[in-house]
Structure 1
Amino acid sequence: MPHDCSQPTAPAGIYPFDARGVAKRFRHAAIFGALDALQQGEVMRFCNDHDPLPLLRQIEQYFGDRVQARYVAREPGEVVIDFLIAQ
């Protein structure tokens, strides 16, 4: 079943971020800014049309254990990742 990031059905503390709507030249800066803005225990639900493996490495290098990534969906054309700010 596809996930639709345009429909805010997630409970409080989960914030959608649809990367498909952000210009490519601003995308990584916007993602890092959004992650920096989250507080402990909050989640950014990231949606994209491809698996962002280089971005995941960059996030791991920059944030270390502070940000945990968990795939919600990992299908061609539909990737959803929850980024949790660790307690």
Structure 2
Amino acid sequence: MSHDTLLDAGVHCFDARGVARRFRHAAIFGALEALHPGETMRFFNDHNPLPLIAQLRDRFGDRLTFSYRKTDPDLTVIDIGVTDPAATTQDKHANGGCCGSCG
């Protein structure tokens, strides 16, 4: 499967298959840190990276979303989206709630 068949506007491609194994995780972390909220990295790998996904969840928390696009024995494609951290934080004053410091 070529990258061209999977690319959408506003999606950034990252093919881990071309990165030396000892540098992969650091390169992936750096690529995700460079993305802005609302952007997506389309991640290509030669296997399903479950340990990496666990590391990403530990490091980024709820700021990332994961959507599998393809899972074959020799190719896994995952869209990793970056969300806006402010959108996931509920306003403590919303719906009549109060933090105790209101006048």
TM-score (norm 2): 0.76
Whose radius of gyration is greater, 1 or 2?
2
Specify every segment of 5 or more residues in structure 1 that has no aligned partner in the other structure, as ranges: none
Structure 1 Cα separation of the partners of residues 37 and 9 of structure 2 = 13
Task: Determine which of 10, 13, 36 is the counterpart of 2:10.
Answer: 13
What are the superposed Cα offsets for residues 37-86 of structure 1, whole Å, 9 maximum, x if unpaired?
00011000000110101000000000000011110001110100000001
User: Which is bigger in relative contact order (C-alpha 8 A, separation at least 6)?
Assistant: 1
2:55 maps to 1:58 = yes
Task: Determine which of 19, 22, 46 is the counterpart of 1:22.
Answer: 19
> What number of residue pairs does the alignment pair up?
84
Structural RMSD (CA): 1.3
Specify every segment of 5 or more residues in structure 2 that has no aligned partner in the other structure, as ranges: 85-103
**Mapped contact 1:8–1:16 kept (Cα < 8 A):** no
Query: Counting strand residues as a fraction of each chain, which structure ranks higher?
Result: 1
Distance 1:47 1:9, change over 3 A: closer
Displacement of 1:13 after TM fit? Answer: 1.5
Query: SS of the counterpart of 1:83?
Result: strand
